[in-house]
């Protein structure tokens, strides 16, 4: 296997808040290869967005990170500000959750799409021509006219397409998508997803797709990482995850998803999601886990390889069910 | 935005709680208390008659006899400063009381009745907004003559819309809350609901605005005295003292004009510190 | 857009009409015989009093007097000053340049100082921010005549850098003479605008589109200019408009403190001697400036925030 495009190794992020440093990520390792779509799934507060933003060198204010986060071998965490700006313009870009909040409402669509290119020194005329092509490729009609319009003249779905066009402007090799459809109407979600996956495949980009929706992730991703309380608890291929979930948390998430074809009512995961700061020693999920044993509270379970899946659960072998 | 309605809380209770939490606010409140005490006890604590002329002390600068020196007529600056606090605080107090009462009445009425009442009242308030407070006061002085009356009336009218706009805004928000709706459904009269339930809940914000207005009123009234439109000489007044003291500046005597100037700035700062901290607390309570 | 302008102009006309009526009416209500005010306390022959009454239409009913006055105002005739025995319009025009210079100078200081201090405080949190907060807190609590005292005693008396009195003539001399008055006039409002700018910029700094711009490799200074400052312009322009409009009346204090013969000082001296034609004219001028400034700000707002632009052919 060649070196992965994005390689996160043992990433730990602590927030310095007051005197007590609050951890938000603990020992996160993941990788995304060129052309591969990778899902990062978890409940809100599990650290998936922090992980995603860290790939752009965007850490929460006052945060300290240890570990490594390499793009093509270059560590993003130790980059100079100038190199980091270059990385953000050319190598990695991100589609944010809420396009209405993420695009400056007072500036034209053209300004948004060309902003990164202009910062990289592309002449205005060229940048605008390129922006029109990009808008066309995400399915916006009359792209030339759209460049001169303002965000409030677009629907949420259309604006998310604009956001995608803006993200593609720098021809990135890695695309980060942070819940790109959560803020949209159901009817437009599918369109945005199909545009995103089509462009990812066409351009051979690596994609890290962050979502709380396990099924959506399974539908578009090759591999999936499941996060809980700032740690990765399970990772395997999308089919594997659906067919044979290994971690009790994944099983719980799957059971909580309503299914049309099943008569069984969805079962929620009991308890409430913890943040890493609140998590006790040992397995963070133990408190909500139906299979927890006393030893689950002693020492954090290390991820182990079980038939191609990485699982951080002491009882993973015993608990293969369904 | 799930603010719990607050009932029957002492007006000074929030002040006491704020004072305990923030050193700056404690200092500001202590300073204001000191100022009020000095103004009230002026005859007891001053060494000199504020109007006593002593030409031998003219522009003396700081001496043990006259701590802040004496002005061009040889009157003791410190004594005049302490006596000046009386008009300096009394004028703004009247302005704040009248403008707060008037503004709250107009604002709550506009919010409660809505419709035509709202648009008429809002228009009227806008009209006053398009009229600078100082100009209103100057015109009224032209009509009614100099003294404290015209400026106080003018400032009360000019400041009422600021309170009115705020009261209307918060009253509208408050009126839409379920608990007010519940009282209406139960058949309480609008008057009772407004006085017993609505007012206590919007009072802290209005109190904050009024504290800030106190400072501005003090500045505006002092400006009118400075122009010679307010309290007339020889009554001690900060603005008038600055007017009387400014010619001596060129002779190098700074204290007669500077001392009342510093008094104005310090008092206004103290009032805005208190007002802003009340507003901050209300905002934080709303966020929870 | 044309319709909006027309409606706003109509609104201004109504405001001016109402305020002119109020000003004229309140002056009319002043206790005492208007003719004796106009004579300035001088004793005069009955014939002279009659002439004065004739000249100022004092024998007519109130509404007729108002109509005649407002008719004159429309043609630029504001009557004659009792104090100076001159046309009011001429008196005001002669003093307007000094006042406009002063206001312009102060407005420049306010905008530059307010934006600079506000932006620095918003972008450099910590010590700098706290210093600016303390400084602006004191500045907003310092009335112009107190600032004048401090500035005169420091820069005129102690250091001798700037004159304490006089208008000055010619550009350089005028700027030299007006520096202290403009600074005294500006101080309070620099503090106010700095606070508004700081708050508005901090609010924008916390917005998601600012982080998005950073995430796209846009240099920090461009992010501040295009996203933070740009989006904070709404509240900044509103406050600037109100402040600059208010300068025309605030200037009366500064002109008095520095002995400048401008419109504000004319207003003060006219009130003192109850020279009502001048008071009425200057008051109208002040209100006109106020509503015009508000109109300019309102017209600027759609340019600042495109969301406020009415869709073409839309109603209302």
- What's the CA angle centered on C180, arms C178 and C184, to 5 degrees? 115
Inter-chain CB proximity A115 and C218 less than 8 Å: yes
Inter-chain CB proximity C149 and B134 less than 8 Å: no
In this prediction, residues C273-302 reach a mean pLDDT of 86
Half-sphere exposure of C109 (CA within 13 A, CB side): 22
Q: What is the pLDDT of residue C314?
A: 36
DSSP C118-131: HHHHHHSTTHHHHH
Q: Which residue of A has its CA nearest to C302?
A: A106
Interface residues of B toward C, Cβ cutoff 8 Å, are: 127, 130-132, 134-135, 138-144, 215, 219, 222-223, 226-229, 239, 242-243, 245-246, 249-250, 252, 254, 257-258, 261-262, 264-265, 268-269, 272-273
Cβ contacts of C156 on chain B, cutoff 8 Å: 250
pLDDT at C200 over 90: yes
Q: Which residue of C has its CA nearest to A54?
A: C215
What residues contact A130, with CB distance under 8 A and at least 6 apart?
A: A114, A117, A122, A169
Q: What is the pLDDT of residue C315?
A: 36
Q: Domains (ranges, CATH) in chain A?
A: 6-106+150-311 (3.40.50.300)
Q: What is the pLDDT of residue A322?
A: 45
Q: Which of B234, B76, B221 is nearest to B153 (CA)?
A: B221
Chains that touch C (3 or more CB pairs under 8 A): A, B
C253 part of contact set with chain B, CB < 8 Å: yes
pTM here?
0.84
Q: Do chains B and C touch (3 or more CB pairs under 8 A)?
A: yes
Q: What is the pLDDT of residue C312?
A: 47
CB-nearest partner of A103 from C209, C214, C218: C209
**DSSP strand E in chain B: where?**
none
What pairing do the DSSP bridges indicate for beta strands A92-95 and A174-178? Answer: parallel
Q: How far is the C-alpha of B150 from the C-alpha of B141, rounded, in Å?
A: 5
Q: What is the pLDDT of residue C174?
A: 83
Domain with CATH 1.10.3720.10 in chain C: 95-308
Residue C27, min C-alpha distance to chain A (Å): 48
Q: Which of C13, C291, A244 is nearest to B131 (CA)?
A: C291
Q: What is the pLDDT of residue B18?
A: 59
| C-beta atoms surrounding B113 within 10 Å | 13
In this prediction, residues C165-185 reach a mean pLDDT of 84
C-beta separation of C84 from C39 below 8 A: no
Residue C230, min C-alpha distance to chain A (Å): 8
pLDDT at B7 over 50: no
The residue that leads in pLDDT, B66 or A90, is: A90
Q: What is the pLDDT of residue C313?
A: 39
Residue C213, min C-alpha distance to chain B (Å): 28
Least confident of B100-114, B262-276, C51-65: C51-65
Where does residue A294 rank: exposed (0-12), middle (13-18), buried (19+ CB within 10 A)? exposed
C306 part of contact set with chain A, CB < 8 Å: yes
Q: Do chains B and A touch (3 or more CB pairs under 8 A)?
A: no
Inter-chain CB proximity B139 and C286 less than 8 Å: no
Residue C197, min C-alpha distance to chain A (Å): 17
| Stretch 177-216 of chain C: residues touching chain B, C-beta under 8 Å | none
pLDDT at B161 over 80: yes
Inter-chain CB proximity C209 and A89 less than 8 Å: no
Least confident of A46-55, B66-75, B141-150, C235-244: B66-75
In this prediction, residues C83-112 reach a mean pLDDT of 91
pLDDT at A93 over 50: yes
Cβ contacts of B132 on chain C, cutoff 8 Å: 245-246, 249-250, 286, 290
Partnered with residue A63 across adjacent β-strands are A15
pLDDT at C191 over 90: yes
**Token pair recorded at residue C79:** 């009557």
Least confident of A204-213, B6-15, B67-76, C100-109: B6-15
Residue C311, min C-alpha distance to chain A (Å): 10
Q: What is the pLDDT of residue C114?
A: 95
> Which strands make up the sheet holding A309-311, listed edge to edge?
A92-95, A174-178, A206-211, A37-41, A223-228, A231-237, A309-311, A304-306
In this prediction, residues C194-200 reach a mean pLDDT of 94
C81 part of contact set with chain A, CB < 8 Å: no
Q: How far is CA C137 from CA B53, C110, C186, C271, in A?
A: 37, 15, 14, 33
C55 part of contact set with chain B, CB < 8 Å: no
The residue that leads in pLDDT, B2 or C86, is: C86
Q: Which of C168, C189, C43 is nearest to C117 (CA)?
A: C189
Q: What is the pLDDT of residue B1?
A: 37
Q: pLDDT digit string (tens) for A147-170?
A: 999 999 999 889 999 999 999 998
Q: Return the CATH number of the domain spanning residue range C95-308.
A: 1.10.3720.10
Q: How far is the C-alpha of C78 from the C-alpha of C91, rounded, in Å?
A: 10
Q: What is the pLDDT of residue B232?
A: 83
C312 part of contact set with chain A, CB < 8 Å: no
Residue C254, min C-alpha distance to chain A (Å): 39
pLDDT at A313 over 60: yes
Q: What is the pLDDT of residue A177?
A: 92
Range with top average pLDDT, A194-198, B133-137, C175-179, C294-298: A194-198
Least confident of B87-91, B192-196, C252-256: B192-196
Least confident of B190-204, B221-235, C174-188: B190-204
DSSP conformational letter for A268: P
Q: What is the pLDDT of residue B152?
A: 92
pLDDT at A321 over 60: no
Cβ contacts of A56 on chain C, cutoff 8 Å: 215
C123 part of contact set with chain A, CB < 8 Å: no
Inter-chain CB proximity B252 and C138 less than 8 Å: no
pLDDT at B129 over 80: no
In the three-class reduction of DSSP (H, G, I as helix; E, B as strand; rest coil), residue C217 is classed as: coil
Q: pLDDT digit string (tens) for A250-308?
A: 888 888 777 666 666 777 777 777 777 776 677 888 888 888 888 887 778 888 888 87
| C-beta atoms surrounding B181 within 10 Å | 11
Least confident of A113-127, C28-42, C276-290: C28-42
Q: How far is the C-alpha of C161 from the C-alpha of C173, rounded, in Å?
A: 13
User: Average model confidence (pLDDT) for chain B?
Assistant: 82
In this prediction, residues B66-74 reach a mean pLDDT of 76
pLDDT at B2 over 50: no
pLDDT at A18 over 80: no
pLDDT at B288 over 70: no
Q: What is the pLDDT of residue B287?
A: 64
In this prediction, residues B129-141 reach a mean pLDDT of 84
pLDDT at B204 over 80: yes
Inter-chain CB proximity C256 and B258 less than 8 Å: no
Q: pLDDT digit string (tens) for A73-85?
A: 889 888 898 999 9
- What's the CA angle centered on C88, arms C84 and C92, to 5 degrees? 100
pLDDT above 70 covers a percentage of chain A that reads: 93
Q: What is the pLDDT of residue B218?
A: 92
In this prediction, residues C134-146 reach a mean pLDDT of 92
Where does residue A30 rank: exposed (0-12), middle (13-18), buried (19+ CB within 10 A)? buried
Q: What is the pLDDT of residue B6?
A: 46
Write the ipTM.
Answer: 0.85
The residue that leads in pLDDT, A225 or C34, is: A225
Q: How far is CA B97 from CA B132, B137, B156, B207, B210, in A?
A: 20, 17, 8, 11, 8
Q: How far is the C-alpha of C286 from the C-alpha of C250, rounded, in Å?
A: 10
A134 pLDDT band, cuts 50/70/90, is very high
CB-nearest partner of A93 from C208, C211, C216: C216
Cβ contacts of C307 on chain A, cutoff 8 Å: 105-106, 150, 152
Q: Domains (ranges, CATH) in chain B?
A: 13-42+71-287 (1.10.3720.10)
Inter-chain CB proximity C149 and B249 less than 8 Å: yes
Q: How far is the C-alpha of A96 from the C-alpha of A102, rounded, in Å?
A: 7
Least confident of B174-183, C195-204, C209-218: B174-183
Q: How far is the C-alpha of A70 from the C-alpha of A231, rounded, in Å?
A: 19
Cβ contacts of C271 on chain B, cutoff 8 Å: 138-139, 141-142, 229
Cβ contacts of C287 on chain B, cutoff 8 Å: 130-131, 135
User: Average model confidence (pLDDT) for chain A?
Assistant: 86
Cα-trace Rg, chain B: 22
């Amino acid at each position: 296997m060649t070196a992965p495009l994005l390689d996160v190794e043992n990433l730990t992020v602590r927030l310095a808040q007051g005197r007590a440093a609050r951890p938000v990520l603990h020992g996160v390792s993941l990788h995304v290869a060129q052309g591969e779509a990778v899902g990062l799934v978890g409940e809100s507060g599990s650290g998936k967005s922090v992980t995603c933003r860290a790939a752009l060198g965007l850490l929460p204010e006052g945060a300290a990170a240890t570990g490594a986060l390499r793009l093509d071998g270059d560590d993003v965490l130790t980059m100079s500000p100038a190199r980091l700006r270059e990385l953000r313009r050319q190598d990695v870009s991100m589609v944010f959750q809420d396009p209405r909040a993420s695009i400056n409402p007072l500036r034209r669509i053209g300004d948004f799409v060309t902003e990164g290119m202009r910062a990289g020194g592309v002449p205005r005329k060229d940048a605008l021509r390129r922006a029109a092509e990009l808008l066309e490729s995400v399915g916006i009609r009359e792209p030339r006219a759209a460049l001169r319009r303002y965000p409030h003249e677009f629907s949420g779905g259309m604006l998310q397409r604009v956001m995608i066009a803006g993200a593609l402007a720098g021809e990135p090799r890695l695309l980060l998508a942070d819940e790109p459809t959560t803020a949209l109407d159901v009817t437009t979600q599918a369109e945005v997803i199909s545009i995103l996956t089509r462009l990812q495949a066409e351009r051979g980009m690596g994609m890290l797709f962050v979502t709380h929706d396990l099924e959506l992730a399974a539908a578009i991703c090759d591999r999936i990482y499941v996060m809980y309380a700032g740690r990765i608890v399970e990772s395997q291929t999308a089919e594997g995850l659906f067919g044979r979930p290994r971690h009790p948390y994944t099983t719980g998430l799957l059971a909580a998803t309503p299914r049309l074809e099943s008569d069984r009512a969805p079962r929620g995961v009991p308890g409430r999601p913890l943040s890493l700061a609140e998590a006790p020693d040992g397995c963070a999920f133990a408190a909500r886990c139906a299979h927890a044993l006393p030893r689950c509270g002693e020492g954090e379970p290390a991820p182990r390889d079980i038939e191609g899946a990485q699982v951080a659960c002491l009882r993973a072998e015993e608990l293969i069910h369904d | 935005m799930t603010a719990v309605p607050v009932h029957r809380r002492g007006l000074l209770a929030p002040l006491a709680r704020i004072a305990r939490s923030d050193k700056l606010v404690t200092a500001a409140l202590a300073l204001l208390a000191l100022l009020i005490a000095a103004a009230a006890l002026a005859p007891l604590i001053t060494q000199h008659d504020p109007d006593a002329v002593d030409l031998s002390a003219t522009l003396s600068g700081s001496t043990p006899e006259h701590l802040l020196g004496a002005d061009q007529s040889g009157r003791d600056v410190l004594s005049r400063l302490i006596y000046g606090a009386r008009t300096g605080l009394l004028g703004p107090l009247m302005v704040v009381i009248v403008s707060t009462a008037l503004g709250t009445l107009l604002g709550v009425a506009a919010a409660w009745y809505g419709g035509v009442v709202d648009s008429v009242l809002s228009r009227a308030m806008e009209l006053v907004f398009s009229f600078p407070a100082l100009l209103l006061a100057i015109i009224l002085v032209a009509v009614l003559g100099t003294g404290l009356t015209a400026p106080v009336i003018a400032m009360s009218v000019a400041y009422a819309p600021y309170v009115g706009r705020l009261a209307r805004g918060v009253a509208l928000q408050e009126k839409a809350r379920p608990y007010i709706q519940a009282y209406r459904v139960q058949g309480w009269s609008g008057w009772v609901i407004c006085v017993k339930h609505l007012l206590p809940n919007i009072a802290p914000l209005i109190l904050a605005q009024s504290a800030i207005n106190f400072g501005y009123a003090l500045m505006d009234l002092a400006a009118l005295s400075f122009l010679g439109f307010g309290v007339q000489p020889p009554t001690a007044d900060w603005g008038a003292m600055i007017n009387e003291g400014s010619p001596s500046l060129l002779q190098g005597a700074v204290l007669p004009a500077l001392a009342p100037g510093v008094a104005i700035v310090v008092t206004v700062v103290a009032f805005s510190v208190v007002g802003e901290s009340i507003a901050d607390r209300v905002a934080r309570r709303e966020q929870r | 857009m044309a319709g909006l302008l027309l409606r706003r102009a109509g609104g201004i006309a109504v405001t001016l009409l109402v305020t002119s009526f109020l000003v004229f009416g309140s002056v009319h209500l002043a206790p005492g015989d208007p003719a004796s005010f106009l004579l300035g306390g001088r004793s005069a022959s009955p014939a002279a009093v009659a002439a004065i009454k004739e000249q100022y239409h004092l024998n007519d009913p109130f509404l007729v007097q108002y109509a005649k006055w407002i008719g004159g105002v429309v043609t630029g005739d504001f009557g004659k000053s009792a104090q100076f025995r001159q046309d009011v319009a001429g008196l005001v025009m002669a003093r307007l340049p000094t006042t406009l210079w002063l206001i312009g100078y102060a407005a420049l200081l306010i905008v530059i100082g307010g934006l600079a201090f506000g932006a620095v405080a918003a972008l450099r949190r910590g010590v700098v921010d706290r210093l600016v907060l303390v400084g602006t807190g004191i500045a907003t609590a310092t009335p112009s005549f107190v600032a004048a005292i401090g500035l005169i005693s420091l820069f005129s008396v102690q250091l001798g850098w700037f004159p304490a009195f006089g208008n000055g003539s010619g550009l350089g001399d005028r700027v030299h003479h007006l520096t202290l008055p403009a600074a005294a006039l500006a101080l309070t409002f620099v503090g106010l605008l700095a606070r508004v700018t700081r708050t508005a910029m901090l609010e924008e700094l916390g917005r998601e589109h600012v982080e998005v711009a950073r995430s796209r490799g846009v240099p920090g200074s461009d992010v501040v200019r295009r996203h933070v400052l740009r989006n904070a312009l709404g509240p900044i322009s509103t406050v600037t408009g109100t402040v600059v409009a208010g300068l025309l009346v605030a200037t009366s204090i500064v002109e008095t403190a520095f002995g400048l013969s401008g419109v504000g000082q004319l207003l003060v001296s006219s009130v003192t001697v109850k020279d009502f034609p001048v008071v009425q004219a200057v008051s109208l001028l002040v209100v006109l400036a106020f509503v015009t400034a508000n109109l300019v700000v309102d017209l600027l707002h759609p340019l600042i925030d495109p969301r406020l632009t009415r869709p073409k052919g839309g109603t209302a």
